Amino acid sequence: MENFIVSARKYRPATFESVVGQHAITTTLRNAILNNQLAQAFLFCGPRGVGKTTCARILAKTINCNQITKEGEACNECVSCKSFNTSASFNIYELDAASNNSVDDIRTLVDQVRIPPQGARYKVYTIDEVHMLSQSAFNAFLKTLEEPPSYAKFILATTEKHKIIPTVLSRCQIFDFKRISVEDIMLQLTRVASNEGITAEPEALHIIAQKADGAMRDALSIFDQLVSFSGSNITYRHVITNLNVLDYDYYFRLVDAFLTNSVSEALVIVDNVLANGFDGQHFIIGLGEHLRSLLVSQDTATLRLLEAGAALKERYRRQADQCISEFLLKSLEIVNRCDLDYRVSNNKRLLVEMAILQMMALIRPISLSGSKALEDAAGQPQANVKPTPPLPPPKPAEANKPIFVPPAELIKKTGIAPVGMPTTTSIKTSPPGTPAQTLPKTDENGADENNYEEESQTAYILQADLEKYWAAFAQSVASESPNLHATLTFGEVRVADASKGVIEYPITSQVQLKEIQDHKSDLIDFLRKKLGTPRLTINTPLVESKSVADIPYTPVEKFRKMLEKNPELAKLKEQLNLDIDY
């Protein structure tokens, strides 16, 4: 019986060309080999399972090859390549810094560097997990790393570049390995499955690639696990069962329940998910990913951001056409808030169900906004939505002309009414502080109709009333906010446009502007009630303040100012032999 070799080792790349998902790095290394421009030290950094140690081994093997191909690859036929393939090379060393991280281990390595290579061009030292070296070990390694012998090359690999001291980073060529994309992992898994005679559904390989989180080694390990579980036929159902992955069909059904406003169906879906042993937070995170996928599926330009198979992409696109962006964005906010509150919640199930109900409640207001109607699966409009009543027929042009109506108080004071307007005796006045109203309608004979027009959006503002109520508000906040009181009493308020409800209060500093802005809503509400106008706008133009150059501060300046008014003070000072108090 042959010993089983895991796929991560069996299909480990042996050439630069076979490295998956790191084309930019492998191209750079091959060009450096062909042009004989090798640095003395390389630093390979990136997440786990993306090919750092693999590329280090390929580089070490290739630079000692005696017959390098024109593509920059090792020949696998010379003595150096064969000895490397059998792990018998005396010129290539691998050191695990996780277990050899002391200063004595580095001193031993430095002593070995002094010995020239045997039957090869270079001695290559690969240090894996180099961030685990101690501070003293790093310091002992610095001099050799900066000025090694011409035949010595160092390849450092780490998953945590931020833990390496800057003096080491500055002595290396740094290569940042990226996470391998889902598509590249799927292609590699397809090749492995084909070589092993295993049938695998594309959706199953896609779930494996997603679960691997950009690591090829993890993807191959999961692949071996599923082969042990399902044999020579890997299906999507086998994958989600073995890996405890939440089926995306749950999310499609849940969004369909949102669109049809089926509360019971949505709650049953949540119950099924929790009953199958899935964590509520895991379900919420998956729902957020599903909503994000629907959002990017609404535009062909962003559809490429969706990591899914062709059939699944089409399913996302069809469901995305039934949703509107506003619903998806607000739902993502609810999902994010639920995810943040999940750990501190005492009733986690209720938190998840409340989030589902809040998302469902978004459908009705949005569908009534007129931006995009939402219909149920049967194509019928939503229930319980009252039809919009028809608009009244248009009135004659003369009846639609706006009439400016000053308040009754102004007419009483002046005794003058605009042309075509009844006198004060025919105007229905209202108590002070109530919103101004327009004149009642009249028919052809001049008789009042049953209803009045809607409230006027503007009302005439008197300067005297404005000053009185402005001062009253300033006095009401004097004890609680003396700074605001000082600001409101500093200048003079005036009516800028009486008919449109615009008043103006000039200020002289940004401090005054902030004080007014912080209390602007309270001030406007107060003046609206007192002046009887629904619409009120306060403008605060910034004007230059008076010059303070002439204001005396010191005793000398004050005395000089007094002399300007009364020169006789100088004689009095001399007669009494007085001095100015500094």
Task: Give the DSSP per-residue string, 481-530.
Answer: -HHHHHHHTTS--EEEETTTTEEE--BSSHHHHHHHHHTHHHHHHHHHHH
9, 136, 258 from 248: Cα distances, Å: 32, 51, 16
Residue 196 carries which side chain, given as an amino acid letter?
E
Pairing of strands 173-176, 152-158: unpaired
pTM over 0.75: no
Contact between residue 308 and residue 292 where contact means Cβ atoms under 8 Å apart: no
d(CA 460, CA 418): 13
Give the model's pLDDT for residue 372.
Answer: 43
d(CA 544, CA 548): 12
Sort 370 into a burial class: Cβ within 10 Å, 0-12 / 13-18 / 19+: exposed
What the block records as the tokens of 140 is: 């002992």
> Could you give the 3-state DSSP secondary structure of residue 324?
coil
What the block records as the tokens of 448 is: 């009042």
> Could you give the 3-state DSSP secondary structure of residue 9?
helix
How many residues belong to the chain?
A: 582
What is the phi-psi region of residue 580: left when phi exceeds 0, alpha when psi lies from -120 to 50, beta otherwise?
Answer: beta
> Could you give the 3-state DSSP secondary structure of residue 5?
coil
Cα Rg for the chain, rounded, in angstroms? 41
Our measurement of the distance from residue 100's CA atom to the centroid of its chain's CA atoms, rounded to an integer in Å, reads: 42
Instruction: State the residue for tokens 């800057």.
Output: 166
Residue 131 carries which side chain, given as an amino acid letter?
H
d(CA 279, CA 282): 5
Tally of CB atoms within 10 A around 352: 22
406, 466, 532, 535, 576 from 435: Cα distances, Å: 12, 15, 4, 10, 69
What the block records as the tokens of 256 is: 């369909």
d(CA 439, CA 448): 10
List of the chain residues with pLDDT < 70: 1-2, 364-460, 544-553, 581-582
Give the model's pLDDT for residue 377.
Answer: 37
DSSP conformation letters of 103-165: HHHHHHHHHHHTSPPSSSS-EEEEEETGGGS-HHHHHHHHHHHHS--TTEEEEEEES-GGGS-
* CA-based nearest residue to 514, from 537, 540, 494, 538: 540
Give the model's pLDDT for residue 387.
Answer: 46
* CA-based nearest residue to 540, from 565, 514, 522, 563: 514
Contact between residue 33 and residue 202 where contact means Cβ atoms under 8 Å apart: no
Give the model's pLDDT for residue 155.
Answer: 92
> Is the torsion defined by CA of 227, 230, 233, 236 positive or negative?
negative
> Is the torsion defined by CA of 39, 45, 46, 52 positive or negative?
positive
Cβ-based neighbours of 2, under 8 Å, separated by 6 or more: none
What is the phi-psi region of residue 568: left when phi exceeds 0, alpha when psi lies from -120 to 50, beta otherwise?
Answer: alpha
Give the model's pLDDT for residue 314.
Answer: 84
* CA-based nearest residue to 193, from 148, 230, 233: 233
d(CA 239, CA 222): 9
Sheet harboring 152-158: ordered strands across?
A: 92-96, 123-128, 152-158, 41-45, 173-176
Contact between residue 44 and residue 86 where contact means Cβ atoms under 8 Å apart: no
